[in-house]
């Protein structure tokens, strides 16, 4: 399972309903972690909007505070605990305030959260959001409330998410939930349950509605989108016959269905697993200009032995085969990755293998972390966390330094070219500049002129920073 962390600037971001500020009760909703958590928060907002809630960006005036949490690394959990200390002071002034913890951290700790964090009233796992109105009612009646039951069926397919703090241009669509991969370092299979795919018709319907509302980009989300498969009739992937699999909707077919909605609807997706990515998906990507030429393909380690200890299900050579396939079918495709340094038993030579693989692939960018042991994972039960912290951090520093060099090289290679850019919002550094991204997911900034948010613009790139392209719009 991969949890691609969203832009760090959004960690702990207070999320607002764009079309509902008239409710009698105030909700403060804050999300941490991956794109899936932000997507889940939109489902929570939809459920509570129907219960008469409006949102606020000031938690001190809220009737209910919900924190949607991440459990993939210890640092993410500590940020949540620190935030709860701040909420504790607000609750002292307003004792009737309800504080709830949602998501993966809630699922991992369950009832313990009520004892560990004395101000928490509600603990709700990722599959129990429909129960929130009932749980809030219990707390208002003087009880604490917990629902962390994991589901084998829940996909929230019938709930239209309320777009939170949206730029009105880009939106997430969850296409599946849960994860069947048991990577030894990862807690997600225990916090999000078994894998189940959402029916393709509901996904296409949601994408069409977003396009009609003016959105021009959707990101299809799943812990492992390449294993998406829907056979209908409530059939689960693990019990499908070969005939049923042959007649089921695959991720490649779903991708094509969404791409056919309209040429001006851009499609991105996250995250892929190297052992499941097929050439069929790559050929569909190459066929449609509106499917972005960007793939996040986590490797985690460049050593086959370490990959085996991680239970990743592929070798270094098999990963390289997938990279070769991407470059053969889509030579202009950008590639990013996740990398963990200092995993259990990793030697210095194996660390060097990771660096050499990075240089061979030439990643456009990567999400890089030192190994953080998580409770209940296979690694915690079977392996000793035996790499000293200073060694983990030194190896991480080397990985980051190499990636910065690779990113700068890839960015410079795009200077002098014309890029089709979807305008997302004003540049954070200048109100006179627009910011958007090209198909490879690289940030592009250029003077506003008469262009508007949500429009596609051809931009001639004249210069760059290490990670950002700077240019001017041309006809």
C-alpha–C-alpha distance, residues 210 and 170, integer Å: 9
The reply to whether 24 falls in a domain is yes
pLDDT at position 285? 98
pLDDT at position 152? 86
Residues 187 and 126 occupy one common structural domain: no
The reply to whether 120 falls in a domain is yes
The reply to whether 437 falls in a domain is yes
Residues 180 and 143 occupy one common structural domain: no
**Within 10 Å of residue 243's Cβ, how many Cβ atoms?**
9
* Token pair in block for residue 374: 């998580």
List beta partners, residue 435.
425, 445
**Within 10 Å of residue 47's Cβ, how many Cβ atoms?**
18
The reply to whether 49 falls in a domain is yes
pLDDT tens by residue, 356-366: 999 999 999 99
Please provide the average confidence, as pLDDT, over all residues in the chain: 91
How is residue 10 annotated by DSSP?
G
Which run of H or E residues covers position 193? none
Domain boundary residue among 412, 427, 455?
A: 412
Domain boundary residue among 96, 116, 147?
A: 147
Starting at the earlier edge strand, list the strands of the sheet with 334-341: 294-296, 334-341, 365-370
- What CATH number does residue 94 fall under? 3.40.50.12160
C-alpha–C-alpha distance, residues 259 and 261, integer Å: 6
Angle among Cα 86, 89, 90 to the nearest 5 degrees reads 95
Residues 239 and 131 occupy one common structural domain: no
Global pTM value: 0.88
- What CATH number does residue 397 fall under? 3.80.30.20
pLDDT tens by residue, 39-75: 999 999 999 999 999 888 899 999 999 999 988 878 8
Q: Under 8 Å CB-to-CB from 392, ≥6 apart: which residues?
A: 341, 342, 370, 371
Q: What pLDDT band is residue 18 in, cutting at 50, 70 and 90?
A: very low
**Within 10 Å of residue 286's Cβ, how many Cβ atoms?**
17
Q: Under 8 Å CB-to-CB from 141, ≥6 apart: which residues?
A: none
**Within 10 Å of residue 1's Cβ, how many Cβ atoms?**
23
Distances (CA, A) of 384 to 9, 58, 143, 377: 33, 44, 41, 12
pLDDT at position 19? 42
pLDDT at position 37? 87
pLDDT at position 234? 56
Residues 257 and 394 occupy one common structural domain: yes
pLDDT tens by residue, 381-434: 999 999 999 999 999 999 999 999 999 999 999 999 999 999 999 999 999 999
pLDDT tens by residue, 231-257: 876 555 666 677 777 789 999 999 999
Query: Is 147:130 a contact under the CB 8 Å cutoff?
Result: no
Tell me which residue range forms the domain holding 191: 170-412
pLDDT at position 475? 80
The reply to whether 66 falls in a domain is yes
Residues 143 and 182 occupy one common structural domain: no
Mean pLDDT of 155-183: 88
For the cut 60, the answer to whether the pLDDT of residue 21 exceeds it is no
pLDDT tens by residue, 268-324: 999 999 999 999 999 999 999 999 999 999 999 999 999 999 999 999 999 999 999
Mean pLDDT of 208-215: 96
388, burial (CB in 10 Å: exposed 0-12, middle 13-18, buried 19+):
exposed
- What CATH number does residue 462 fall under? 2.40.50.140
Residues 28 and 72 occupy one common structural domain: yes
Q: What pLDDT band is residue 23 in, cutting at 50, 70 and 90?
A: low
Mean pLDDT of 162-178: 87
The reply to whether 387 falls in a domain is yes
Query: Is 422:439 a contact under the CB 8 Å cutoff?
Result: no
Work out the end-to-end distance of the chain between its first and last CA atoms, rounded to an integer number of angstroms.
43
The reply to whether 154 falls in a domain is no
Residues 401 and 426 occupy one common structural domain: no
Angle among Cα 173, 176, 182 to the nearest 5 degrees reads 135
C-alpha–C-alpha distance, residues 429 and 421, integer Å: 18
Residues 93 and 175 occupy one common structural domain: no
Residues 286 and 389 occupy one common structural domain: yes
C-alpha–C-alpha distance, residues 327 and 410, integer Å: 14
Residues 287 and 142 occupy one common structural domain: no
* 3-state secondary structure at position 182: coil
Q: Under 8 Å CB-to-CB from 121, ≥6 apart: which residues?
A: 98, 99, 100, 139, 144, 145
* 3-state secondary structure at position 90: helix
Residues 338 and 218 occupy one common structural domain: yes
For the cut 50, the answer to whether the pLDDT of residue 1 exceeds it is no
Write the DSSP string, 136-152. HHHHHTT--EEE----S
The reply to whether 156 falls in a domain is no
Residues 397 and 423 occupy one common structural domain: no
Range from 183-192, 199-208, 402-411, 427-436 carrying the lowest mean pLDDT: 183-192
For the cut 90, the answer to whether the pLDDT of residue 328 exceeds it is yes
- How many folded domains does the chain comprise? 3
pLDDT at position 117? 79
Distances (CA, A) of 141 to 51, 94, 114, 134, 145: 17, 17, 17, 11, 10
């Amino acid at each position: 399972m991969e949890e691609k962390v969203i832009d760090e600037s959004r960690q702990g971001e207070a999320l607002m309903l764009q079309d509902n500020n008239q409710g009698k009760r105030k909700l403060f909703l804050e999300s941490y972690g991956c794109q899936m958590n932000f997507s889940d928060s939109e489902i929570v907002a939809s459920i509570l909007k129907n219960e008469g809630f409006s949102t606020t960006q000031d938690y001190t005036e809220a009737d209910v505070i919900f924190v949607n949490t991440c459990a993939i690394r210890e640092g993410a959990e500590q940020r949540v605990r620190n935030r709860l200390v701040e909420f504790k002071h607000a609750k002292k002034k307003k004792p009737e305030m309800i504080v709830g913890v949602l998501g993966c951290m809630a699922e991992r700790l369950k009832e313990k959260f009520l004892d560990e964090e004395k101000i928490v009233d509600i603990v709700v796992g990722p599959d129990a959001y429909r129960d929130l109105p009932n749980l809030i009612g219990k707390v208002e009646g003087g009880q604490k409330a917990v629902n962390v039951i994991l589901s084998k069926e829940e996909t929230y397919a019938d709930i239209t998410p309320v777009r939170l703090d949206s730029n009105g241009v880009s939106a997430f669509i969850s296409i599946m939930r849960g994860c069947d991969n048991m990577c030894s370092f990862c807690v997600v299979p225990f916090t999000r349950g078994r894998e189940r795919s959402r029916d393709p018709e509901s996904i296409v319907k949601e994408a069409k509605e977003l396009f009609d509302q003016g959105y021009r980009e959707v990101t299809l989300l799943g812990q492992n989108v390449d294993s998406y498969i829907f056979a209908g009739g409530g059939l689960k992937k693990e019990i499908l016959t070969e005939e049923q699999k042959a007649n089921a909707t695959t991720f490649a077919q779903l991708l094509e269905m969404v791409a056919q909605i309209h040429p001006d609807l851009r499609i991105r997706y996250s995250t892929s697993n190297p052992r499941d990515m097929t050439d069929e998906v790559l050929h569909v990507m190459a066929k449609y200009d509106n499917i972005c030429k960007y793939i996040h393909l986590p490797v985690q380690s460049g050593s086959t032995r370490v990959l085996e200890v991680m239970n990743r299900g592929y070798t270094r050579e098999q990963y390289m085969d997938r990279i070769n396939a991407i470059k053969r079918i889509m030579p202009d495709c950008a590639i990013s990755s996740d990398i963990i340094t200092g995993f259990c038993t990793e030697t210095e030579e194996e660390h060097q293998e990771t660096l050499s693989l990075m240089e061979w692939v030439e990643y456009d960018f990567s999400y890089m972390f030192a190994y953080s042991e998580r409770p209940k994972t296979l690694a915690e039960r079977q392996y000793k966390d035996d790499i000293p912290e200073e060694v983990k951090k030194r190896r991480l520093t080397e990985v980051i330094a190499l990636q910065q060099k690779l990113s700068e090289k890839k960015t410079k290679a795009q200077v002098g070219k014309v890029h089709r850019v979807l305008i997302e919002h004003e540049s954070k550094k200048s109100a006179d500049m627009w910011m958007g991204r090209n198909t490879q997911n690289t940030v592009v900034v250029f003077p506003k002129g008469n262009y508007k948010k949500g429009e596609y613009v051809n931009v001639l790139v004249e210069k760059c920073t290490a990670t950002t392209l700077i240019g001017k719009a041309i006809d």
